[in-house]
Amino acid sequence: MTSEIVRIGVFTSGGDAPGMNAAVRAVVRTALHEGKQVFGIRRGYQGMIEGEIDEMFHRSVSNIVQRGGTILKTARSQEFLKREGREKAHRSLTAHGIQGLVAIGGDGTSRGATALFEEFGIPIVGVPSTIDNDLYGTDFTIGFDTAVNTALEAIDRIRDTAESHDRIFLIEVMGRQAGFIGLAAGVAGGAEEILIPETKSDLDTLCKKVEQWSREKKGSRIIIVSEGDELGNAAEIGKKIAARTGADFRVCVLGHTQRGGCPTAKDRILASVFGNAAVQALLEGEKNVMVGEVNNEIVRTPLRETWEKKKPIAERLMRLYRVLSR
């Protein structure tokens, strides 16, 4: 490690994701292991603006690896969207002597970090943490695996009652602009149909399938709907199907349940690896990158690319679901 960085700041921003605490823990303890001081910034960019910054030690992150949410809290900051707000944030960081940042969050966090670096030159390394799994530059983001397993547990439970009543259930999962949760949970849960933003959803085709299920006297029928699907949300799609086919349906919106809960082993390990890798990147002189994992290798991707480039959906899973759902 050749970097002259002595004081490192760490913060979580945007939507919370299971595993954020494990990432914070890894950042703090790796920095201390390297003989650096580390400071926690509460409430993301808004806390950065308001100077909510405190030094952290080994005991500051004890007993948090298993906890969901984030001990550093998170917030949306309209003030940070303006240059004046970012200037305040920079002054606050300078006042505390912070020379480099680890930013834990999703695409909004990466956008903010990009602006902060490009305008003020402070070294920043991003850690991808969002249940949506939509950041370019990593196969998986922190929180995705837990969110999928949370959704899957609900799907399995709903399947029981759907089978008992020979009824259609539309289960809405998070994913306003990305269908990674919907596709993974749908394949794992044996869904009969998966509607996600990345693929064209056709109401005529969907209604024909519903009518076919009825003719075949198919019992449980599960339709997974990402909240950002072009046909609408689950309730809207259900009403459209009923209007055309007369089918009886129920809707279950999983909502924020997907964000909470203890992180899975996979998310805890991923967060620990990413937090450690982020500190190493800072100390090796990286200034504007996100650490990620591609094909089981740790990579570093320019921050701007992580939100400017579109991460593709797994086409092989789409093909697989179409075969298995028949």
Interior angle at CA 195, CA 193 and CA 198, nearest 5: 135
Is 145 within 8 Å of 266 (Cβ atoms)?
yes
Interior angle at CA 143, CA 55 and CA 190, nearest 5: 170
DSSP-based three-state secondary structure for 86: helix
Place of tokens 């086919």: 245
Alpha carbon separation from 222 to 68, 166, 226 (Å, rounded): 28, 11, 13
Place of tokens 């306003």: 176
Residue 105 bridge partners (DSSP)? 128
Among residues 16, 54, 107, 132, the one annotated as catalytic is 132
In the chain, count H helices and then E strands: 11, 11
Phi-psi region of 277 (alpha: psi -120 to 50; beta: other; left: phi over 0): alpha
Instruction: Show the DSSP H helices in 284-302 as ranges.
Output: none
Quick one: tokens of 76?
A: 């949306």
Instruction: Show the DSSP H helices in 178-302 as ranges.
Output: 180-188, 203-215, 234-245, 265-283
Is 233 within 8 Å of 241 (Cβ atoms)?
no
Interior angle at CA 276, CA 6 and CA 103, nearest 5: 70
Distance of alpha carbon 66 from alpha carbon 140, whole angstroms = 19
Distance of alpha carbon 3 from alpha carbon 27, whole angstroms = 16
> Is 132 designated active site?
yes
Catalytic residues: 132
